[in-house]
Amino acid sequence: MALAVGANRLELLSIAEAVAREKAIDKSIVIEAMEEAIQKAARARYGAENEIRAQIDQNNGDIRLFRLMEVVELVEEPATQIELKIAQIDRPEAAIGEFIADPLPPIEFGRIAAQTAKQVIVQKVRDAERERQFEEFKDSAGEVTTGVVKRVEYGNVIVDLGRAEAILRRDQGLPREHVRTNDRIRAYIHEVRREQRGPQIFLSRTAPEFMAELFTQEVPEIYDGNIEIKAVARDPGSRAKIAVLSNDAGIDPVGACVGMRGSRVQAVVSELQGEKIDIIQWSPDIASFIVNALAPADVAKVVLDEDNQRVEVVVPDDQLSLAIGRRGQNVRLASQLTGWLIDILTEAEESERRQEEFVAKSKMFVGSLDVDETLAQLLVAEGFGDLEEVAYVEKEELLSIEGFDEDLVGELQQRALDAIESIQLEADEKRKALGVTDDLAKKEGLTSAMLVSLGEAEVKSLEDFAGLAADELTSTEDGILKSFDLTEEAASVMIMATRIELGWIEEESEEETGGIANEGVISEEESGSEE
């Protein structure tokens, strides 16, 4: 590069071609860098206040140097402006606002000027090289690549990909995996992004997608689309679960992924440093999928809570430790794989809990309906769990219970209605005592019991309610209304409707907002909230 500033015309072009070829960038970018370097050196020679341009002919290497002058009526900056009548002496067609190129004699590069020019060219070429790397790799995110370990810095591995360098951060490498300089390494391109120091390519060997891509490379049926990978969950370096589905009735997806004598899965296991892999048959029936995901444990019963994406799994007493796994690994991976929260109970624990629930519901019916214990237990045994179910169920359903007649059913439903009304009145008095406003009490979707819980959490007005986020109400850990049957979507709808009612935001069509359930962000100024 040092030759560029002192070279003759043909050498200049040869150098540009050589640099462009070496850095895999366009020759015109190198020529542009040389022009910029010459311009910088010329400003140092003729004065930085001048607007100087350099042009290199890409055919013969000729260098033209000239100063740009703007044609004006009255000159204010003599270095960059020229008066109209003076400009028209040589160029009669000159007009105000135009620029005139005033030729300058070529300059000789001194040692300092040559060094400055070299720095400009190097920086420009480096920037172009970085841009080329970003453009080349920006669409490679999501692919598996192979490179050579260049060096290891504080646990982070720098990998040479040939045309660029990538980084495998310490937290993205497999535990207990030791790599050395010049080792070949395979990894998943996790992210490619621009940064101040240039494009950064981030690799991962812990990402679930890495395992999926490895299986795609090892199993032709996956590559061809006959088998589909539906989900992957990993505890990197230890254990993983992968769910697969066959789109061809004649292909066993699990067997195809295992391969003859385990050859295919073993190739993936070897790449992942011995990570144990459970290959699972995916099922559109979530209960069946969860049962499969908990393998090798046997499952006795599954109870789904679809609103909260939670499932209760009952296993035989001797299968509990197997279902949970060492340090909870098996159930944790199954939960990641299915996307459902999984609670595991033994048959004995489930029986005990059911008995406790049975006794509690029976006592509630005895106290609220003023009936004897036998009748209360009969209602619970028939599937009735609360007063609302008794009060509002069709009479025919109650009449279908052996020993129930019209008079008994009518009396039970009336007593249930009276009990509900009494509870609501009591709750209403309590919410008034807590200071919950009538405006909030009129909010559709909020029961008296909910209002009491809101009041106890210092949510007492429409403004307080509108300032909440949906998960503050429904979070299973600390949600204000977590004990009520309220979904996050329903909570979001109520909050958004309240914000519109208060005028914090304008009501928009679903086409504009994507549906009212999508919560907006409300600033303090918009909400009118006060510190």
Q: What integer pLDDT is reported at residue 331 of this predicted model?
A: 93
97-101, 375-379, 391-395: the lowest-pLDDT one: 97-101
Pure H helices in 47-146: 84-90, 111-137
Please give the average per-residue pLDDT across 342-355, as a whole number. Answer: 88
Give mean pLDDT, residues 132-141.
Answer: 71
Between residues 334 and 8, which one has the greater pLDDT?
Answer: 334
Amino acid 82 reads I
State residue 1's pLDDT score: 41
How confident is the model over 469-490, as a mean pLDDT? Answer: 84
One-character DSSP codes across 245-277: EESSTT--HHHHHH-GGGHHHHHHHHHTTT-EE
Task: Determine the Cα angle at 36 with ends 2 and 8, to 5°.
Answer: 45
d(CA 462, CA 482) in angstroms, rounded, equals 20
* pLDDT value for 194: 75
Side by side, the strands of the sheet bearing 276-281 are 227-235, 239-246, 276-281
Q: Can you give the pLDDT at residue 481?
A: 86
Instruction: Judge whether 81 and 69 are in contact, CB under 8 Å.
Output: yes
Residue 521: per-residue pLDDT: 41
526 pLDDT higher than 50: no
pLDDT value at 360 more than 80: yes
Query: Looking at residue 174, what DSSP letter applies?
Result: P
Which domains can be identified in the chain, with CATH numbers? 2-134 (3.30.1480.10), 138-204 (2.40.50.140), 434-527 (1.10.150.20)
- SS3 annotation, 178-220: CCCCCCEEEEEEEEEEEECCEEEEEEECCCHHHHHHHHHHHCH
User: Does the pLDDT at position 6 exceed 60?
Assistant: no
Overall average pLDDT of the 247-253 stretch: 89
pLDDT one-digit tens code per residue, 167-224: 899 889 888 888 888 889 999 988 888 776 667 888 999 999 999 999 999 999 999 8
- At residue 492, φ and ψ (nearest 5 deg) are -65, -40
| pTM of the predicted model as reported, rounded to 2 decimal places | 0.58
Residue whose C-alpha is closest to residue 30's, from 174, 162, 127: 127
Give the strand pairing for 276-281 and 239-246: parallel
